[in-house]
């Protein structure tokens, strides 16, 4: 049942046309910062962001974290996006955001649907940040219990027998 719910959340994105709306700002870096703030990137990719209601200084944004998200897919970890862009060209980053099929809870269909200009703005904002922070742990396959802290995203049905 949980797998069916996840599949419904991971439908392919609709094709994006040249007329797709995108963020306008004074600079691409400012547009990228806005997208990070409003797109929920910090919720997972910035340590303690969600737990503190966003009260994390911008100097700490997008460094990834070792708190995993555990579900039917295994355990996934939010990458240090500063390290991700440090090793990629802008075109490679845009290609990744346009084609990647990744693990939950990352909203890949929404990311793929973004306008190319917004993907480039994200890259330019993240690239403007200093290269700091550690790499995130590698994802774990289903059936492995993480050694790190993790959020349990297993579906629970009240009154249903526990599944183990």
- 120-133: pLDDT as tens digits: 999 999 999 999 99
> Among 51, 75, 78, which residue's Cα sits nearest to residue 64?
78
CA 36/CA 119 separation, integer angstroms: 11
pLDDT averaged over every residue in the chain: 90
pLDDT at 164: 57
Sheet holding 150-152, edge to edge: 74-76, 68-71, 150-152
pLDDT at 13: 47
- Give, in degrees to the nearest 5, the angle at Cα 53 between 48 and 55: 70
| Local confidence band at 11 (pLDDT 50, 70, 90 cut-offs) | very low
DSSP bridge partners of 150: 68
φ, ψ for residue 135 (rounded to 5)?
-65, 150
pLDDT at 3: 43
pLDDT at 20 over 90: no
pLDDT at 162: 72
| Local confidence band at 8 (pLDDT 50, 70, 90 cut-offs) | very low
Q: Helix count (H) and strand count (E) of the chain?
A: 7, 3
- Cβ-Cβ contacts under 8 Å for 47 (sequence gap 6 or more): 56, 60, 63, 64, 65, 67
pLDDT at 36 over 70: yes
Strands (E) across 15-164 are located at 68-71, 74-76, 150-152
CA 101/CA 107 separation, integer angstroms: 10
Summarize pLDDT for 97-107 with one digit per residue, the tens: 999 999 999 99
CA 74/CA 68 separation, integer angstroms: 10
- Cβ-Cβ contacts under 8 Å for 146 (sequence gap 6 or more): 68, 70, 75, 137, 140
């Amino acid at each position: 049942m949980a797998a069916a719910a996840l599949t419904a959340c991971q439908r392919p994105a609709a094709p994006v046309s040249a007329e797709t709306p995108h963020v306008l700002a004074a600079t691409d870096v400012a547009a990228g910062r806005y997208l990070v703030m409003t797109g929920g990137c910090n919720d997972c990719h910035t340590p303690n962001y969600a737990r503190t209601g966003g009260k994390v200084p911008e100097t700490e944004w997008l460094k990834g974290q070792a708190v995993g998200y555990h579900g039917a897919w295994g355990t996934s970890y939010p990458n240090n996006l500063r390290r991700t862009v440090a090793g990629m060209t802008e075109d490679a980053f845009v290609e990744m955001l346009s084609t990647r099929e990744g693990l939950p809870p990352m909203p890949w269909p929404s990311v793929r649907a973004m306008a190319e200009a917004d993907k480039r703005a994200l890259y330019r904002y993240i690239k403007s940040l200093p290269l700091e922070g550690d790499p995130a742990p590698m994802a774990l396959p289903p059936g492995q219990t993480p050694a790190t802290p993790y959020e349990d995203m297993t579906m629970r049905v009240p009154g249903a027998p526990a599944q183990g």
